Amino acid sequence: DIQMTQSPSSLSASVGDRVTITCRASQSISSYLNWYQQKPGKAPKLLIYTASSLQSGVPSRFSGSESGTDFTLTISSLQPEDFATYYCQQSYSTPLTFGGGTEVEIK
Amino acid sequence: QVQLVESGGGVVQPGGSLRLSCGASGFTFSPYGMHWVRQAPGKGLEWVAFIRYDGSNEYSADSVKGRFTISRDNSKNTVYLQMNSLRVEDTAVYYCAKDPLSYGSGSWYFDYWGQGTLVTVSS
């Protein structure tokens, strides 16, 4: 199975901050990496697919990038509605696997 | 708009069975593969199973293989998860999720999710 390691597991940030979350795959997954946002008590929401494609309706302050087996989700200017938990997920092979999540909290 | 509504969750004893349903609306259901994903209380996300748009192939996680079966009825716009031999560690919110690829073997990610249904396995 492909292991997805997310870091950090949590972070505190202020509105307006630039936030970066990293996800590392245990082997090459090409660009088959997706990012989700989940708020408490709600279903996850797709933000980014295939490493850097923005899902329709998602604000442009969200972006994704890749470098080898390392993937990054960046929020360019954190907004109050962005406080949530973020998960990466590889879609390269089954079983599909997720990172452990990054909780973004208000500083 | 796309809507996925899960039902069938509840409390069941270890070793018992439960069938979850997920009704789809707001899009043409039959061309799309469908997934089940679960989340144990306070934990992360775990993919459970996938079924192709035409029901010709299914895939599942090792943790549920031989116990859970995914199926679909395109005439009813519904996907199911039959769960047998339930264990305490199967306790979770179960989400159904839509695959974005039509008429294919799946893109293997999730563009729309339902609100989830809670399954509690406890004696």
pLDDT digit string (tens) for A8-38?
Answer: 999 999 999 999 999 999 999 999 999 999 9
Alpha carbon distance A15, A97 (integer Å): 31
Identify the band that residue A107 occupies on the pLDDT scale cut at 50, 70 and 90.
confident
Phi, psi values for residue A73, rounded to 5°: -105, 130
- Whether A98 has its CB under 8 Å from any CB of chain B: the answer is yes
Distance from CA of A53 to the nearest CA of B (A): 12
- Whether A83 has its CB under 8 Å from any CB of chain B: the answer is no
Nearest chain A residue to B43, by CA: A100
Instruction: Using an 8 Å CB-CB cutoff, list chain A residues near B45.
Output: 36, 38, 44, 87, 89, 98, 101
Q: Which amino acid is at B61?
A: A
Contact A89 B111 (CB under 8 A): no
Contact A98 B113 (CB under 8 A): no
Pseudo-torsion of CA A57, A61, A64, A70, nearest 10°? -140
Bridge partner residues of A10 (DSSP): A103
pLDDT of residue B104: 83
Alpha carbon distance A62, A73 (integer Å): 7
- Of B62, B112, B116, nearest to A95 by CB-CB distance is B62
pLDDT tens for residues A41-86?
Answer: 999 999 999 999 999 999 999 999 999 999 999 999 999 999 999 9
- Whether A13 has its CB under 8 Å from any CB of chain B: the answer is no
Contact A96 B44 (CB under 8 A): no
pLDDT tens for residues B33-83?
Answer: 999 999 999 999 999 999 999 999 999 999 999 999 999 999 999 999 999
Alpha carbon distance A90, A41 (integer Å): 23
Instruction: Using an 8 Å CB-CB cutoff, list chain A residues near B35.
Output: 96
- Of A45, A46, A91, nearest to B108 by CB-CB distance is A91
DSSP letter assigned to residue A9: S
